[in-house]
Amino acid sequence: MKTTRLFTLLALLLMAGGVKLQAQNAPKHPFFVAKEDGFSYRSLIKLLDMDSVYIGSKLESSYHDLLSVMYSRFGRYKEARHEAEATGTMFLDQKRFARNYKNAKAIPLSEVMDSIIENHQGIMMNELHFNPHSRAFVISWLEKCYQNGYRYLAAETLRASDSLLNQRRTVLLGETGFYSDEPVFADLFRTALNMGYTLVSYEGSGSGVDREVNQAKNLVENILDKDPEAKFLLLGGFGHISDRNGWYAMGRYFKEQSGIDPFTINCTMTFDDPYGETDSLQTVYYDLIDNMPVREPIFLYDTVKHIFPCTTGMDVTCCLPRTRFIEDNIPDWKLYNGKVLYTIDRRFINKNGFPEGCVSAFLKSEGEQCVPIDQYMYGKDEKEFKLALYKGEYLLRFDDGKEYRYVTVMVK
């Protein structure tokens, strides 16, 4: 199981009021720097200006880790991947997988999805904090699961302090969860709420084993103690959902406490490089998934039909289709639920925005307090870019890091 990210742990401690001030002679942790401006676009700009402070310091890995999350919030997926690689630990599992992939056989998701949903009370998936592709993948499960009696969606990022989330049915910036400030993640929750799911927080106090045990305990108390026959989906981070012998993570503790064996799907082992800059993963699964007759996710099995690779502590490894860019800044997995492309060109920017900065598209019916449907950090040399939006009325907010400008638009 991957080591819990340092800045995530600090976030939890901060919410609990247990963080002490750093020594005066040490650089402020990047998490606290970003927090000053609410982990916004302005936070990202501030962090980038502090590059010389963190590179070469003990906080360098945490700095890159946080930048990867921040870049992904503003549609800069190439930069997010670069920062994730710079942490030095992000691709260890993928390298291990590459040594064994030659024995793998691909099973199309469509062949097994119905059976998984019908025969399990709980389905757990994990996600990459710097790449929303897996979050978009979970959205594709919601409707079929709901039709088969699933009524709860639990997520590691959700904060118990946002106690009105299910009544309010909107995802608040800086309130609902740390990772849910990313537009696709927020839209996952928005979609689930509109469909009729109850969102469940289960984050646990403490660190290490204590955190895993408490996450499992909270999950049991917040769902099964209230509704013993409840069917649920869960979205966790990295290895927390591991539930096999030898893996002491939330997934296994949940199995021991509840008596329920959830179906666990590893969505973080293989993810593609659509930019063509590295080939470390290409031979792992590109040939397998590109040769499938239908473009869909695949599950991997080994030659003796054991789910592959068992070394992750999860039931199955899922490979998502290779990302294709519909436009320069829009990956294909961002167009779901009937979203359309909305073009912002240089003439529009010059009239309403700033030469470079960030534009955030808020549903007019929700307002700026909610997570935008999409947002993008654009450069001064970009002639145009796209946003992936639902049809409706929006408030576009342009931000150059110092001031805001606003314009209302209708997306048809």
Write the burial class of residue 99 (CB in 10 Å: 0-12 exposed, 13-18 middle, 19+ buried).
exposed
For residue 155, the model assigns a pLDDT of 96
Distance CA 5, CA 66 (A): 9
Tell me: cis bond preceding 355? Omega within 30 of 0 counts: no
For residue 284, the model assigns a pLDDT of 57
In the predicted model, is pLDDT for residue 378 greater than 50?
yes
Res. 322 pLDDT band, cuts 50 70 90 = confident
- Give yes or no for a contact between 365 and 373, defined as CB atoms under 8 angstroms apart: no
Helices vs. strands in the chain: H and E counts, helices first = 15, 16
Residue 353: helix, strand or coil by DSSP? coil
C-alpha of 286 from chain center: 22
Q: Which tokens sit at 43?
A: 């936070």
Mean pLDDT for the chain overall: 86
Distance CA 80, CA 85 (A): 9
Question: pLDDT, tens digit, for every residue of 236-273?
Answer: 987 888 887 666 789 899 999 999 999 999 888 766 66
Q: 17: which residues sit within 8 A by CB, 6+ positions away?
A: none
In the predicted model, is pLDDT for residue 124 greater than 80?
yes
Write the burial class of residue 184 (CB in 10 Å: 0-12 exposed, 13-18 middle, 19+ buried).
buried
Q: Which helix (H) or strand (E) holds 116?
A: helix 109-119
Res. 320 pLDDT band, cuts 50 70 90 = confident
Average pLDDT over residues 214-225: 96
In the predicted model, is pLDDT for residue 360 greater than 80?
yes
